[in-house]
Structure 1
């Protein structure tokens, strides 16, 4: 007896049962919503890898982001400073799409031939341009061409950045075909990082196969830890769904303490996280106490220095020399409704 003919009645009964359920749902509610998991959330993650794209933002950044989001993954973009300055909307789109943004120098020069002061100026200018465009200051630095020395690493560290090279070179910059890029990426192991580039069609065409290969090996795209430079879980967050529209900006009423006042707004909200901007008035030296609602977690802070209480839910932010406005990114981690509450603002 044919296995096809023997299994057909069973499949037919199952199909009729499914159609019956769907018909009932439509009759009752008028709408049936089918939820499909993204590749990254569907996979069992036994390890994480870092997908990185250098030299952006470019005129092709939007196309790259579309492919990444279609495959349900997040990646790290190592941006060139002058590109970020000249393509601000593309840099903003990277962050809005859930990507992490790193520093890749101002103009992709051979930095090891620079003096220490030149290195400092180059990386500082780049971080400022990226922060101006995206609202977040880079915590990661990738030296152009992978060329580095102890002086460059020291300069990057002084600016609050971890140097990240790569474990696997996709060779996309060297004219690699789609199949070659996919083959190179298949060597990735847990914790490792791969070098790819913005603006290359073959790279975009390879992403779907790269993700499929990772999923087959129970590996998931993750973030690069600023502490270790290795790929880790992205704070338990999933990529923001395509078409996510940020809700209207809201303001958290701030109580005042001492002779200063702190006002918080949420200018950007995405599918898995949101930004909070806090402006302090009435003092140039201050301490702002902010409470979060668990399991939400702050992933990035800029223009301020934070310390945490023992619970890990209350932080005190003080100025770090970058003015009276600071900000931070908070991951929802399953709670999308809560917002940080400012408990006090103390001058001095």
Structure 2
């Protein structure tokens, strides 16, 4: 059996894969995963090897089909190999958008033994429906207008662009970042608790339209003064998609807003924004986050981050990652005495 998870959204592909793995091999005892570029004979050898603990063998591949397309057709040898898979083997292939001719070729060769799962970014109203379903997975509902507000905040042209191209087979470009949408929904669900509805107002308050998602796990580690967690989360952020300069700017922006919110605690977010030039949305956001830092500590952290930025621009500091790590660990040392006072 062959299942093809194809489309532009890596987030949807990985979620569909996770559901298949849970349903078919939750313990992972009969599962093997091959990275892109693995030779076909290696994959097929694994597919034809019986499982030790289960009757069924689960083989996961990446771009197995896409890498063997020539002139809109799959390699005939690969098609034959897939058509002759043993009954106890299930191959799942994660693929980018594939040409319709390739899908037709597989249907003709494998018949009912092949399943295709569309993992493209939903279009138009289907995108709003997808956002609604993801919100429900976090135990909340989201108003349709709030779902649109969230999508537009992350990608201002997403709904317009996809409504214009609805029904077009050519709309295969990289679309809205669904992982970012999901992350924001998780944050919003936490923010509205114990209520069960995400409304437009809270989206406008908590979702920054022009900022990349902040590394909240790193912020949490900083607020706890947990050096081990700081190192772990910093490495994770830099190993995924965070550019050191961007991460530095995000952290500085966070502590700037935290400092302003703490030194002007009795003023509304709009009043603080007017006095400081910061975003009222960011001020409101940081006030909803429990922090054990004093305003003096937040100010010291902001000054240290700005010093790194200035040193980088002047060429005094070259290794931005090392400088950022040292500064964050020093900040953890400063916050620990305050945590002890807070706990008393």
TM band (smaller chain): under 0.3
Structure with more of its chain in strand, by fraction: 1
- Given the two structures, how large is their TM-score scaled by the length of structure 2? 0.21
Of the two, which has the highest radius of gyration? Answer: 2
Structure with more of its chain in helix, by fraction: 2
- Given the two structures, how large is their TM-score scaled by the length of structure 1? 0.21
